Structure 1
């Protein structure tokens, strides 16, 4: 099995999933449904597999957003387009975005079809007890087109991992703002960017900084301490451990094969500049761990 397989696989499938947030084809699709503004589209697209749930449920699942952020998008979005219409629109948009990025030849290749089937198998094996977003995506029908199937599979795997990460944060009594402050302190993402897009106030951000300071995890300048770095590493390791089941079920050979098949697809996304350098998940163009 690949060393730290859950982390290696995340690095390879996350860029493909990210197409749904940053490509013009997706924005055109949501606006075509009558969903106005980036955040209305974001919340509708990501929450649609849950059904027409209220903003409180979405806030709980997404974890790091201020409740007002979801409340501005939902449930109004469901009066414009049903969750099923949104799911269908996001599949059409991903189809168009992947066609534009990779080209028809790549999408028609045997390698792409193989990657889609392997990723689908892994996603079907994901353990979803207590993982609401992972379970909702796993329950969606199998798309006929291989590249759309691949995108849906990696989205299920991504939300499965995210659900596990939220469980780790809750177990550490690390609230949404504290989690963002800690992530920013690691240098993975910009603090002001995170605060603004998640819609937390300056006062709420400072309170979270004070809380982490009391724990000894950040210093007076907001920088990560040795204790904070150790805590962050433990939580990342626990997140990786919670995301292992799909890869254990797929097996070492098939997982390694999928990693190799995903690598050029992920690299194309990163090289394209579609995903901005300042992105919420801290996805960067770095040297990946070996999957050999």
Structure 2
């Protein structure tokens, strides 16, 4: 059995508390981050060091440089990568304690899940995967729920790095990748456009190109050819993301699946993640 797509529905929402939980925003504000996007950019890129917008844009893939240039390198005048990483964990700690409860956080299931997820994350092949490698190199947090979060973050960035490689190999750039996601019904177009800072004219030009290529219809939904391309991309991404689960083994992966199901369910049922959301995570019926 291939596990990559199923396990993504677990690791993504756990990782995503760092983007959507109010505790995460408060922790970023506390170290001097000026606005959501400065906190996002600084904390996500911090494993790579105090880099600027060029490297962040390349690593994140989905953003226009202008969006990240509004946060970097200015963020490093207010904090440093080590402090940003500590704040990231502090925000996650507070968020998971609220979402799961202290009893669950301290319980044996979270500790067991952390061990299994950490094993998978450390087994991930990070060749060509810069964000995954940088997160994999971070020290393991002492608290099991934070070790679990860090492991899911490495696994999430591992899948994301592989997804970018799949897109680049097919000549699909950041704008076109977003348009495909929206046309597939996975994300809200206007929210995604504004968040990634694409101009309306560029967005419409991109749609026109996909229409001309027969990828989307006049109503901007996927054609049969578009659906085939979308599934081809997702299947290739799954294949590229399978190595941690192959290394962990079927029995251990199935056990981790069972352990994470109620934890992920609490996050999804909390209303923290919008539906649809920028990452294309199915909120309803995903676990």
- TM-score over 0.5 (shorter chain): yes
Match of 1:74 in 2: 72
Q: What SS class does the counterpart of residue 232 from structure 2 fall into?
A: helix
C-alpha separation in 2, matches of 1:24 and 1:221: 36
Match of 1:54 in 2: 52
Instruction: Describe the superposition over 1:255-278 as per-residue Cα deviations: whole angstroms up to 9, x where unpaired.
Output: 000001011110000000011223
CA shift for structure 1 position 54: 1.1
CA shift for structure 1 position 220: 2.2
Alignment equivalent of 2:147, drawn from 143, 146, 149: 149
RMSD: 1.0
Instruction: Describe the superposition over 1:108-162 as per-residue Cα deviations: whole angstroms up to 9, x where unpaired.
Output: 1111100001000000001101001000000000110000000000000000000
Q: What SS class does the counterpart of residue 58 from structure 1 fall into?
A: helix
Partners of 2:114 and 2:147 within 8 A in 1:
yes
Alignment equivalent of 1:234, drawn from 232, 257, 261: 232
CA shift for structure 1 position 284: 2.3
**Aligned pair 1:6/2:4, yes or no?**
yes
Alignment of 1:1-292 (within 5 A): 3-288=1-286
Gaps of 5+ in 2: none
C-alpha separation in 1, matches of 2:43 and 2:199: 26
C-alpha separation in 2, matches of 1:51 and 1:193: 29
Partners of 2:276 and 2:283 within 8 A in 1:
no
Instruction: Describe the superposition over 1:148-192 as per-residue Cα deviations: whole angstroms up to 9, x where unpaired.
Output: 000000000000000000000001100110111111001111111
Q: What SS class does the counterpart of residue 286 from structure 1 fall into?
A: coil
Q: What SS class does the counterpart of residue 280 from structure 2 fall into?
A: coil
Q: Which moved more, 1:16-25 or 1:210-219?
A: 210-219
C-alpha separation in 2, matches of 1:35 and 1:149: 25
Gaps of 5+ in 1: none
Instruction: Describe the superposition over 1:74-109 as per-residue Cα deviations: whole angstroms up to 9, x where unpaired.
Output: 001011100010001111111111111111110111
- Which runs of structure 1 show a deviation greater than 6 angstroms over 4 or more consecutive aligned residues? none
C-alpha separation in 1, matches of 2:188 and 2:27: 29
